[in-house]
Amino acid sequence: MSHHLKLVAPVRDKETVEVLYDLLKQAHEGKIIGFAYVALHPGCDYSGDVVGTARSTPLLARGIVGALWEELPTLASKSKP
């Protein structure tokens, strides 16, 4: 008997989709004027960019990203069951 291995395609993450829709809504309303992001893709690939006011004020963008970096350990511990 022959077995064929298949890669299982990752399913979309509901929380990621909801957050992106909310961010888009806020951007349309003028509540978000700049954005710095890193996106995780299947296979552990990633992409990122800085856009809008975050790009034109790199020192501010760097500070905001630094604040997120400092918050990551707290966020990670909150997500554990």
Q: Is residue 27 part of a domain?
A: no
Q: Is residue 71 part of a domain?
A: yes
Whether 79 is covered by a domain: the verdict is yes
pLDDT band at 44 (very low <50, low <70, confident <90, very high): confident
- The tokens for 46 are 């990633």
Which structural domain range is residue 58 located in?
Answer: 34-81
Question: What's the number of domains the chain is made of?
Answer: 1
Q: Which residues contact 36 (CB under 8 A, 6 or more apart)?
A: 48, 49, 50, 51, 54, 61, 64, 65
Q: Give the rounded distance of the alpha carbon of 73 from its chain centre.
A: 16
Q: Please check whether residue 60 lies inside any domain of the structure.
A: yes
What's the predicted TM-score (pTM) here? Answer: 0.71
Helix (H) or strand (E) holding 23, with range, is helix 14-28
Q: State the pLDDT confidence band at 80, using cuts at 50, 70 and 90.
A: low
pLDDT surpassing 60 at residue 64: yes
Residue 81 domain flag? yes
Q: Kindly state the average pLDDT of the residues 47-74.
A: 93
- Residue 1's pLDDT is 57
